Structure formats: C-alpha cells, structure tokens
Amino acid sequence: MNTRYIKIALALLSLAEYMQNIAFASEYAPATISSNEEDKQQLATNTEEVKEQLDSTPEEVKEQLDSTSEEVKEELSPTLEEVKEQLASILEEVNEQLDSVLEEVKEQEPISPEEVKEQAPITPEEVKEQAPITPEEAKEAEDVMDEALDLAKKHVKHTKNYKIYHKEDDEAILYFKRVNFIDIGKLELTIHNPDSYDGIVNMLWDPNGPKNYDHLFDTGSFFRTYNENLAIIQQHYNGPDGKWNLYCYALAKKFQLSEDETAIVFASSDMSGPGNTYERYENPIVEGASIFKPDIYSENYIINGNLSQIFVNLMAFFIKKEADCVKITHISSIDYDAPLYVPQDLLKLLTSQKMVNVIKLREIFKKE
C-alpha cells in the first residue's frame, strides 16, 4: 500500500477520535456540524467499506462511495448517541487494521526520520550554494506576495458568506466561508495590551513563532531569504497522533501598512527540486503563484517521504495597534493534499484548531 495514504488514514483516525471526544461540543456553532447528508455519507460506512478504502486507490474509493450513495440517502439521520456509538465501533476496528499495516511499513522503512536527519543534515550555507537567488526570482517573489496582500485584504473584509464556526467570547470569534470549493477561515481577536504590538508582530513573523502557541508545531526556518521582509519559510508540524507529520514551504512577506498596522502574508507555490515527487500544486487563490517555481533542495528525510507536504493557499495576519488594545485579524486556507474520500469537514476542523491556537496570544501578551 502507498505509505502516503496510510498517513492520510492515520490523520483521519486522529481527527475522528477528536470529534468523538468533544461529541460536537456545545461551544461550537451549528456550522461545525456537518449537514444531514454529509453525516449519512460519513457514518453509514461499515467496517468492510473502511477496509476497502485502506486497500483501494482514491478513484476506486470514490466509485464505491458513489455506488452506495442511494442506499445512504434512505437511512434516517443518526442521533448524537448513535453517532458516538458508530464512531467508537469504527475507530476500534480501524485501529486494529492500521496497527497491522504500520508494522509492515516499519519493516520496509527501518530508518527513522531522526536517523536520516543525523546522517545528512543540510545547513543554510549549503542551501545557498545549491540554489543561488537571481534578480528575476526575487522580483517574481515580490510580485506574488503583492498579489497575495491584495487578496488577503479582500478576504479579511467581513461579508455575509462568513458564518460563525467557533466563539470563544465576544473578542475571539472564528468564522469560515467557502469560495469555489475552498474553505477560508477568519479569526477576529482583541488583545487588551497596546504595548504588545511590537512583540506580537515579531512573534508572528518568526518562523519558529508558532512554538509559543501551537503544541503540534515542531520547527521552522527562513529557508531562502530575499530581503529582511521577504523569504521562503519552511515549517514542520507533528501529527495529532505523532504519526502524520507535516511540512510546508511558503513565501512570506511582512508589510508595514502604516505606523500602527502591519500585515504578514503567506502563500505557497509549486516549489520543487531534486528528489521531490509530489504532484504539481497550483494555488487556487493566489493565481500568480503559478509562475513562481524556485528550486528547493529539501533535506533527505523530506525527500525520502518521512513527512507529508501541505500547502498554504493563503494565510495572513493583520495586526493593528489601537489606543487601548491590539486587534488581530487572521485568515487561513490550507491544502492538505488529501485523497478525495477524506471528508472536508475533518480538514476544516484541522485548520480551525490551528487558528483557535492563535487565541493563546492573549495569555502570552496579557497586560501585567
């Protein structure tokens, strides 16, 4: 079996466990719960179908789901208790199957990511030698991020398409909207400490900044620097279960919009290099990113497939200092490069958890 799909299956398992544990907790708005039709499609899957999904290609799985859709439609909407019981049953059996499959994978891949990392590290100096920056590349990077800023300004405006997804309180609200089959989240956050403005900007610009508020974050770096405010960042994240580990490359730029307002914007393009074998990525939001194709010489533990790549369609932080507070508006759209049979609600949940983590900045920068 392709190890990439094993990792995706593990991610599904972790997120399903999370959904079972919170049991559609009351603090989440109704928008977090799938429609009846989506629930039927997800929960009507019996154990045999799960086995077939793990052993099949995404195309075969899609055909199987289509063939059973009419039967699913005839079923009644499950109650909350039935949902919990079905999830528990599926999780138990999928756990057993995945344990067996993972044992086989371990036999095929005896070298751990840590061992590979120790054997063949790539230093920043080596990266610079391998991929020199040309003036044309730097100009393309500038153009892509200028477009990304314009799009971020558009999506940061509140429209009727945005629906409340999670409300921590009146000063920390997460919304989501769906545009052209793409989920875009928006978090509005207020921090009552105007003196924290510079510290917040510095933390959000630091590629290792998420370590302060995201427990799944591993490490980050400026992988390729064009100037002090424009770079390609590389970041690694641990999976929810410690098995589905992720990495991403993204262009990042810091914009000084005014004396009291800064925007930090991120967007991925089709970055490739020797050994990278993932399918071509086209940014569905920042269309100009399709022309930006720098050669990225990844570390061996990435090339060997020990991490799964994700892509930032568009992410931004708008940080504004006011007389008595700092206001942050954060938007995010992530492509997890998941198979077609992975429910979009689970991927949205994963994005939402990363966005909700940003609320922890209030505690970090609270006024003494």
pLDDT at 279: 63
Can you give the length of the chain in residues?
A: 368
Residue 335, pLDDT score: 94
> Residue 91 burial (CB < 10 Å; 0-12/13-18/19+)?
middle
In this structure, the answer to whether residues 106 and 149 fall within a common structural domain is no
> Is the same domain home to 126 and 102?
no
For residue 280, being part of any structural domain is answered with yes
232: in domain: yes
Q: Is residue 115, in this structure, part of any structural domain at all?
A: no
What residue type is assigned to position 217 of the chain? F
Answer yes or no: do 127 and 106 share one domain.
no
State which of 81, 110, 139 marks the end of a domain. 110
**pLDDT attached to residue 116:** 31
- Give tens-digit pLDDT for 179-192: 989 999 999 999 99
- Of 49, 83, 110, the residue that ends a domain is 110
- pTM listed for this prediction: 0.68
Same domain for 249 and 338, yes or no, is yes
Q: Does the residue 23 lie in any domain? A: yes
- The pLDDT score that the predictor gives to residue 188 is 98
What is the dihedral angle through the alpha carbons of 89, 33, 283, 206, rounded to the nearest 10 degrees? -90
What pLDDT, on the 0 to 100 scale, is given for residue 295?
Answer: 76
Residues 66 and 185 grouped into a single domain: no
Same domain? For 26 and 49 the reply is: yes
Q: Within the chain, which residues score under 70 in pLDDT?
A: 1-131, 241-243, 272-279, 297-306
Q: Is the same domain home to 346 and 213?
A: yes
Q: What is the pLDDT of residue 118?
A: 40
Question: Tokens at residue 326, please?
Answer: 């700092």
What local confidence, expressed as pLDDT, does residue 309 receive? Answer: 86
Distance in angstroms (rounded) separating the CA atoms of residues 89 and 319: 45
Whose tokens are 């499609």? That residue is 41
| Domain contains 117 | no
Residues 243/4, Cβ–Cβ less than 8 Å: no
Kindly state whether residue 277 falls inside one of the protein's structural domains.
yes
Residue 282 sits in the same domain as residue 321: yes
Domains held by the chain: number: 2
* pLDDT for the residue numbered 149: 98
Q: DSSP secondary-structure letter at 134?
A: P
- Choosing from 57, 76, 110, the residue where a domain stops is 110
pLDDT at 27: 44
State whether 87 and 228 are in the same domain. no
Residues 159 and 194 occupy one common structural domain: yes
Q: How many CB atoms lie within 10 A of CB 233?
A: 21
pLDDT in tens, 268-313: 998 765 445 556 789 999 999 988 988 776 655 455 556 788 999 9
Domain that holds residue 284: 122-364
